Structure 1
C-alpha cells in the first residue's frame, strides 16, 4: 500500500461525497430525528460514534477485499506485470465511474438486496439514544450500497494487502465525513464549490491518468532504458577492456620495432664483415 493510493482514496471519498449524499442524506436525517430528545453534547458524541462505526465497517470490508486479493489474485500473478496492469485498470475504471459512467450500478443492485435483508436489524437500533446503538447503526451503515464504496473496494482488492486494504477504506471513509457531519448551510456551500469547479470530475480525470501511468510508464521507461543501454555499450564499452586492448596493441608495436632494430643491426654487421 503506497501513500499515493491512500491520498487517492481520501480524495475519492471527499469529492465523491456530494453524490453519495443523496442516499446517505436520508439515513443521516433519520438518525438525527431519532436523537431529537438528546442533549447537544451527547448528540455530538452519538454522531461521532456512528461515524466511527461506519469507518470500522469500511475497514472490515477493506480487510476482506485485501484478503481476496492476497489469496485469490496474487498467486495467479506472481512473477509478471499483471498486478501493476490490474491496478491501473481499476484506477481507470474508478476514475471513469467518477466521471459519471454507470459501471458499478449492478453491484449497487446486489448490495441493495443485502441492505434490505438487514432491514429488521436496522430497525432495532432506533432511537439512537445510547452509544452501543449508535455504534451498531454505524456498523450497519457501512453496508449501504454505493458505487463509490465498491470502487474503493476494488482498489483494495488489487492492492494485495489485507491491512493496506483496511487502511485504504478507513481513509476513504474519512474523506466522506466532512460532507455528512456538516450543517445544512455548510453542506450547500461545499456542494456548490465541488460542483462549480467540477472537482469530482477533475479527480476522476486524475485517477484515469494515474491508472494509465501505472500501466504504461514502466513499459516506456524500460524500453528507453534498454535503448540507452545499447548505445552506452556501443559508445563507452568496458574501460578495463579498452585499456587492456590498448596496452596489448602498444606492446605488440614495441615488439615489432625491437625486432626490426635487431634485424638492422644484423644487416650492418654482415656488411662490415663483407668489407
Structure 2
C-alpha cells in the first residue's frame, strides 16, 4: 500500500466518521456506563464532564494508534520472510478485500464482517475486568486507563482498519492510519455522551450509510485493480 496517498487516510477518517451506526451498537452501552460511572458531582456539570469525556476518547484513540503501530510492525516482519514485493501485494490484496467487505457492512448490505468481532472476544474478557476497579471515575488518570482499555473492545471496523495498517508494513504509517480512524469516531462518541446520541443519530439515515459504504467499496476495488 502506498501510504503516501491521501485516500488511504481519507478512507480511515470516513470509516470512523460515517460508521456511527455501528458505534451506537458497539459503544453505546459502554459510553452510557462510563458517563454514569463518573462521580455524580462531575456528571451533573457538563463543563466538568467535558475533560473526562475527552480523556476517555483521547486514550481510546491512543490505544488504536498503539495497535496500528503493532500491526504495521507485524506487516513489516512478514515482508522479511518472503519476497518483499510478493508479500506486500498479498497484504494489500487482503486489505482490499476487507475494504470491500467493510463497505458492504457499513452500507447494511452484508454482515459477513461481524465474524471478525468474535475473534477479539477472548482478549476483551480478560481486559474488561481490569477497568472495573477504576469506577466510579473521580480522577482524569482513571478516565485515561479506562479509555485505553476501551480501545481493545472487539469491533469489526477497528479490525478492518488494523488489516489496512498491517498492509502498510510500516509501524508509523499503521499508527497514523489508526489515529486518523480514531479521530473520525470522535464526533459520534462525544455526541453520544453529551447529547443522548443526537449527533450520532445523523448517521442513521440510510443514504449516509450507503454513501459511506460505496466510498469504502470504491477504494477497495481501486486497490484490487
TM-score normalised per structure 1:
0.71
Q: Distance in 2 between matches of 1:190 and 1:23?
A: 13
The question of 1:10 aligning with 2:20 is answered no
Alignment of 1:1-275 (within 5 A): 1=3, 2-35=5-38, 36-38=40-42, 39-73=45-79, 75-80=81-86, 81-82=89-90, 84-100=92-108, 101-182=110-191, 183-184=194-195, 187-188=197-198, 190-191=200-201, 193-216=202-225
Q: Distance in 1 between matches of 2:85 and 2:131?
A: 46
Q: Distance in 2 between matches of 1:83 and 1:146?
A: 20
**8 Å contact from structure 1 (residues 18, 179) kept in 2:** no
| Residues 142-173 of structure 1 deviation map (CA, whole Å, 9 limit, x = unaligned) | 01111111111111111211111111111111
The alignment covers a number of residue pairs equal to: 214
Secondary structure at 2:182 match in 1:
helix
| Structure 1 residues 76 and 102: alpha-carbon distance in aligned structure 2, compared to 1, 3 A threshold | farther
Secondary structure at 1:118 match in 2:
helix
Q: Distance in 1 between matches of 2:181 and 2:73?
A: 18
Partner residue, 1:230: none
Q: Distance in 2 between matches of 1:176 and 1:214?
A: 24
Q: Distance in 2 between matches of 1:44 and 1:55?
A: 16
Q: CA deviation at 1:94?
A: 2.2
**8 Å contact from structure 2 (residues 187, 199) kept in 1:** no
Q: Distance in 1 between matches of 2:77 and 2:104?
A: 28
Q: Distance in 2 between matches of 1:84 and 1:70?
A: 13
| Structure 1 residues 78 and 61: alpha-carbon distance in aligned structure 2, compared to 1, 3 A threshold | same
Q: CA deviation at 1:29?
A: 1.0
| Structure 1 residues 116 and 150: alpha-carbon distance in aligned structure 2, compared to 1, 3 A threshold | same
**8 Å contact from structure 2 (residues 189, 200) kept in 1:** no
**8 Å contact from structure 2 (residues 102, 113) kept in 1:** no
Q: CA deviation at 1:190?
A: 4.5
| Structure 1 residues 77 and 14: alpha-carbon distance in aligned structure 2, compared to 1, 3 A threshold | farther
| Structure 1 residues 148 and 87: alpha-carbon distance in aligned structure 2, compared to 1, 3 A threshold | closer
Partner residue, 1:271: none
Q: Distance in 1 between matches of 2:170 and 2:123?
A: 26
TM-score normalised per structure 2:
0.86
| Structure 1 residues 85 and 108: alpha-carbon distance in aligned structure 2, compared to 1, 3 A threshold | closer
Unpaired stretches in structure 1, ≥5 consecutive residues: 217-275
Instruction: Report which structure shows greater RCO (CA 8 Å, sep ≥6).
Output: 2
Q: Distance in 2 between matches of 1:107 and 1:91?
A: 13
Unpaired stretches in structure 2, ≥5 consecutive residues: none
